[in-house]
Amino acid sequence: MFIVGFFTQGNLAHNMPFFISEGSKMKRVLKVAAAVSCLTAMLLPMQSQATVIGVFGGSDGAETANVVSDLAALGVFTSVTQLNGTESAAQLNAYDSILLYSNSAVGYPSFGDTLADYVDAGGGLVAATFLYQTIGGGYGQSYGRLQSDGYLPYDSYIDNYSNSSLGTYDASHPIMAGPLAVSSITGYYRDIVTLSADANLVASWSDGNPLVAVDGSGVVGVFLFPNDYYPYLSGDYMNLFGNALLYAANEQVPEPASLALLGLGLAGLLYSRRRPIASLKKLLPSG
């Protein structure tokens, strides 16, 4: 007699059968199969869910279209759409991740509330310059609950407008490791901030100030202005924003198939350890 099962990987249409023969080695094979299933689930990269991207440039207005065009040119997204800041939470849920930035001291408290709801519902958000100057630079502007409830990876705003380049960074972090290459960035328009207590620093500028950080809420902060319509921006900056958007979406929404595979593997491992093999045989049809 044989036990016949199937391993399913991701959303593949085909399954791979495996056979476990009856005998003294059955329990060992079950353990190995369960362990392989668990390991596979953990090592398989999540299939990219970040294909539909929204961009809200706030007061950057029509020039936001340049950022939309640059992101689309990366070739890793199905679509990139400019938002106008009046979208409802239900409309934002159509986007896998959103890039939020600003170009002057204009707040959007109502849209900030909606973006907080979007993050709560599992949406990915990347918050970039000059958002932090707008809400923390003495202008008294508000982004509603997104700002007041601690979704952003910053504690205080310090300064702006100074040249710097890519400094030290965590090369193993997905935002820096790819799929898009990031090896050189120079910027002048950037928000210089201190990070919140629950923020994880991913990359720094060469002057030691934060470049990329991830808040405990999952929101990614990129302290750089993303629009090269204006001067003083060069290198792999748009690759950085592309990776950040991919990361934000995938961190918020784990791959269901991977989680299911991990769960099945753990269940199989526990079953093989706790249930006597004789009892297992009683569950199988004779033949």
DSSP code at position 248: H
Mean of the pLDDT values across residues 189-211? 96
Q: What is the pLDDT of residue 111?
A: 97
3-state DSSP assignment of residue 175: helix
Q: What sections of 47-107 are H helices per DSSP?
A: 64-72, 89-92
Asked if residue 122 and residue 173 are part of one domain, the reply reads yes
Give the confidence band of 286 by pLDDT, cuts at 50, 70, 90: low
Asked if residue 244 and residue 264 are part of one domain, the reply reads no
The verdict on residue 70 lying in a domain is yes
Asked if residue 208 and residue 155 are part of one domain, the reply reads yes
Asked if residue 144 and residue 40 are part of one domain, the reply reads no
Cut 0.75: pTM above it:
no
Question: For 128, how many CA atoms within 13 A lie in the half-sphere containing its CB?
Answer: 28
Asked if 167 and 205 touch (Cβ cutoff 8 Å), the reply is yes
Asked if residue 59 and residue 42 are part of one domain, the reply reads no
The verdict on residue 287 lying in a domain is no
Q: Which CATH number belongs to the domain containing residue 69 in this structure?
A: 3.40.50.880
The verdict on residue 210 lying in a domain is yes
Scored b (16 or more CB within 10 A) or e, 143-166 reads: bbbbbeebbbbbeebeebeeebeb
Segment 98-140, tens digit of pLDDT: 999 999 888 999 999 999 999 999 999 999 999 998 888 777 7
| Phi and psi at residue 245, to the nearest 5° | -70, -40
Percent of the chain scoring above 70 in pLDDT: 70
Asked if residue 85 and residue 23 are part of one domain, the reply reads no
Cis peptide before 223 (omega within 30 of 0): no
**Closest alpha carbon to 104 in 188, 186, 189:** 189
Q: What is the pLDDT of residue 135?
A: 85
Asked if 186 and 163 touch (Cβ cutoff 8 Å), the reply is yes
Of 61-65, 74-78, 268-272, the least confident: 268-272
Asked if residue 76 and residue 18 are part of one domain, the reply reads no
Asked if residue 169 and residue 67 are part of one domain, the reply reads yes
Asked if residue 197 and residue 167 are part of one domain, the reply reads yes
Segment 271-280, tens digit of pLDDT: 444 444 344 3
Of 146-155, 213-222, 263-272, the least confident: 263-272
Q: What is the pLDDT of residue 46?
A: 41
Q: What is the pLDDT of residue 105?
A: 82
Asked if residue 70 and residue 15 are part of one domain, the reply reads no
Segment 33-69, tens digit of pLDDT: 444 344 434 434 444 444 899 999 999 999 999 999 9
Q: Domain containing 12: what range? A: 2-46+255-282
Asked if residue 198 and residue 268 are part of one domain, the reply reads no
Q: What is the number of domains present in the chain?
A: 2
Asked if residue 218 and residue 102 are part of one domain, the reply reads yes
- Token pair for residue 149? 């409830």
Segment 149-175, tens digit of pLDDT: 999 999 889 988 999 999 999 999 999
Give yes or no for residue 20 having a pLDDT over 60.
Answer: no
Mean of the pLDDT values across residues 217-235? 95
Q: What is the pLDDT of residue 134?
A: 87
